[in-house]
Each structure stands twice: as C-alpha cells, then as structure tokens.
C-alpha cells in the first residue's frame, strides 16, 4: 500500500510570522507546492498531516537532535518494530528522514528542511 503524497497545502489561517500572503502557490525546497504563507511553519503543517503514531516517532527523533537508531525509536515510542519500520519507510518516501543501514539496525536522520523549519 503506497502512502499518498501531499501535493498541495491550502492556507487555512494567517500565521503571525508568515511572508506576505499571496493567492498563488509556490514550490518549496522539497518540491511540494505550498501556499507562501504556510512555508515558514512547514513542520507544523507536516505534523497536522501525520497520524498520532507518526507524531510519536517524529517527537522521539526530535528529542534526540534528529538522529537516532531505529531499534531505540521503536522502544521509546512504544510501538512494535514492524510498525516503526513502516512509519520510517513512509517518512523516507516523503523525504522527512533519511535512513542509513548500520549493522543490524538503521540510523534515522531527520531531513534539514524539517530541522530548520521550527
């Protein structure tokens, strides 16, 4: 089952630190087409599209400076290894994380565009 990719994010409210609002969508650094008012708070928009389990995984990664081993993520998030693997695979497909194989486990690194958007 392929996870549907986010193609367009529609602005629902004005953000306090947003760029000047326009009605024309723009292409972000990740290739997604977004409204310019949403761009400064990309992480918040991405979090709203995630399930509670995906949010747990991302919160564990953020708590460890964006870099952590997958086996520890699964324990700290309280999820099974299979569920964690599937979430990490979806994150990698969406460009939220990169995965590096290290021995018997994977090292998960949060992408720079997520780290810098907070």
Under DSSP, the state recorded for 80 is -
Q: Is the pLDDT of residue 24 over 60?
A: no
Q: Which domain holds residue 84?
A: 50-115
Ramachandran category for residue 87: left, alpha or beta (phi over 0 → left; psi -120 to 50 → alpha): alpha
The CATH number of residue 92's host domain is 1.10.10.10
Q: Are 55 and 106 part of one and the same domain?
A: yes
Q: Per-residue pLDDT tens for 1-16?
A: 555 554 444 444 444 4
Residues 55 and 85 in one domain: yes
Residue 22 confidence (pLDDT): 46
- The string of pLDDT tens digits covering residues 97-118 is 999 999 998 999 999 888 777 5
Are both 30 and 60 inside the same structural domain? no
- For residue 6, the tally of other CB atoms under 10 A from its CB is 14
Question: Could you tell me the CA-to-CA distances from 80 to 13, 40, 56, 68 in Å, in that order?
Answer: 36, 34, 13, 16
Same domain, 78 and 32: no
Q: What is the pTM of this model?
A: 0.63
pLDDT of residue 114: 80
> What mean pLDDT is predicted for residues 47-62?
91
Taking residues 50-75, what's their average pLDDT? 93
Inter-CA distances, 15 with 20, 96, 107, Å: 10, 23, 34
CB 84 within 8 A of CB 12: no
Q: Is 26 found in the same domain as 79? A: no
Identify which has the larger pLDDT, 88 or 31: 88
Number of domains in the chain: 2
3-class SS of residue 95: coil
Q: Quick one: 60 and 12 in the same domain?
A: no
Closest residue by Cα to residue 81 from 71, 91, 90, 89: 71
Q: Is the domain of 70 the same as that of 110? A: yes
Mean pLDDT of the chain: 76
């Amino acid at each position: 089952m392929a996870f549907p990719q986010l193609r367009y994010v529609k602005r629902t409210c004005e953000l306090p630190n947003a760029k000047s609002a326009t009605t024309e969508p723009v292409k972000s650094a990740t290739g997604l087409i977004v409204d310019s008012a949403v761009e400064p708070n990309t992480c918040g928009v991405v979090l709203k599209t995630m399930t509670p389990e995906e949010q747990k995984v991302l919160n564990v990664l953020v708590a460890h400076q964006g870099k952590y081993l997958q086996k520890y993520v699964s324990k700290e998030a309280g999820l099974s290894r299979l569920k964690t693997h599937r979430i990490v695979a979806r994150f990698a497909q969406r460009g939220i994380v990169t995965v590096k194989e290290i021995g018997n486990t994977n090292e998960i690194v949060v992408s720079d565009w997520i780290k810098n958007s907070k």
